[in-house]
Amino acid sequence: MALIAMVSAKGSPGTTTAALACTLSWFQRTVLAECDPAGGDVRAGYLSGLQVPTIGLLPLAVAELRGQTGAEFPQQLVDLDSQQPGHRLLLPGLTDPVQATSLAGSWGRLADFFSSLESIEPAYDVIADCGRLTTSTPPWPLLHRADLVLLVIRATSLRTISPAVPAVARLRQELTTHARGAGSLAAVLVGSEYPAREVEKRLQVPVLGELPIDVRAAGVLSDGGRLSGKEALLRAAVSLEADVRRHVATYRTSLMTSVEARRG
């Protein structure tokens, strides 16, 4: 498994919280790359108690233009877990949405770099928080290259599910036109008032799991504080890892099968 892109539609808050919950709880070494063109949230939120220098995505993109991505990458990371150094890392996002325009030409190469981290020793998965699809500059090349595009849907009512319908249509069209089809597309629900089966039927997209509404844990992930690891939100994120891995493995197998079938 390599690159997982998380995105949301209108009216579905929870992407950064979900991405951070997964980064802090998955077994596999993980980098959370804040690729939301509207700006990163973690520095001023979960890490607000720390003085985080202005490192991260923008300096990495500058290094990428000089062909120095690999050498600069370790300098641009914040370690999120003092108990297991190097296991859970953060690439902080932009501090101003204006910076997103300068990244437009770099998303594809940055995505290729993130994907390559699966093959180094030790290997890393990258969870890219890509923000809302409704921004004017979604990081499309990154979404095209992702092994999994995970649409985060607040499943509390028809009002929050409905904007996911055009979002799925747009993602499907993008992935079919610019990537290897829409097999990389799936959803994760936040809240379970609206059953996963119903969402799958309505959107025609597999739902890989559900994260509960957990106001306390989400509050810590958004604004800082202490977590025990036993919170319902973190436990659900732990379970999601296996489903995500299964989905990526199935998708990759289907790609290989179709390549072999074409070869004849």
Ligand X SMILES: Nc1ncnc2c1ncn2[C@@H]1O[C@H](COP(=O)(O)OP(=O)(O)OP(=O)(O)O)[C@@H](O)[C@H]1O
List contacts with Mg ion (CB under 5 A). 16, 41
Q: Residue 37 or residue 209: which is nearer to Mg ion going by CB?
A: 37
43 forms part of the interface with ligand X (CB under 6 A): no
13 forms part of the interface with ligand X (CB under 6 A): yes
147 forms part of the interface with ligand X (CB under 6 A): no
187 forms part of the interface with ligand X (CB under 6 A): no
Considering the complex, what minimum distance in angstroms separates the CB of residue 16 from Mg ion?
Answer: 3
Q: Which of Mg ion, ligand X, none does residue 69 bind (CB under 5 to 8 Å by kind)?
A: none
Residue 59 and residue 94: Cα distance in Å, rounded?
Answer: 10
Residue 209 and residue 189: Cα distance in Å, rounded?
Answer: 6
Residue with tokens 């993008």, as numbered in its chain = 174
Residue 79 and residue 68: Cα distance in Å, rounded?
Answer: 21
Q: Residue 148 or residue 251: which is nearer to ligand X going by CB?
A: 148
Six-digit token string for 100: 């997103």
Q: Which of Mg ion, ligand X, none does residue 211 bind (CB under 5 to 8 Å by kind)?
A: ligand X
Of positions 43, 87, 88, 132, contacts ligand X by CB under 6 A: 132
Q: Which of ligand X, Mg ion, none does residue 132 bind (CB under 5 to 8 Å by kind)?
A: ligand X
106 forms part of the interface with ligand X (CB under 6 A): no
Stretch that binds ligand X, among 157-165, 208-216, 243-251, 253-261 (CB under 6 A): 208-216
15 forms part of the interface with ligand X (CB under 6 A): yes
Considering the complex, what minimum distance in angstroms separates the CB of residue 107 from ligand X?
Answer: 18
Residue 81 and residue 61: Cα distance in Å, rounded?
Answer: 25
224 forms part of the interface with ligand X (CB under 6 A): no
Residue 133 and residue 41: Cα distance in Å, rounded?
Answer: 16
Of positions 56, 131, 138, 163, contacts ligand X by CB under 6 A: 131
Of positions 4, 8, 143, 196, contacts ligand X by CB under 6 A: 8
User: Which residues sit at the interface with ligand X, rule CB under 6 A?
Assistant: 8, 13-17, 36, 41, 131-132, 190, 211, 213-215, 218-219, 222, 233
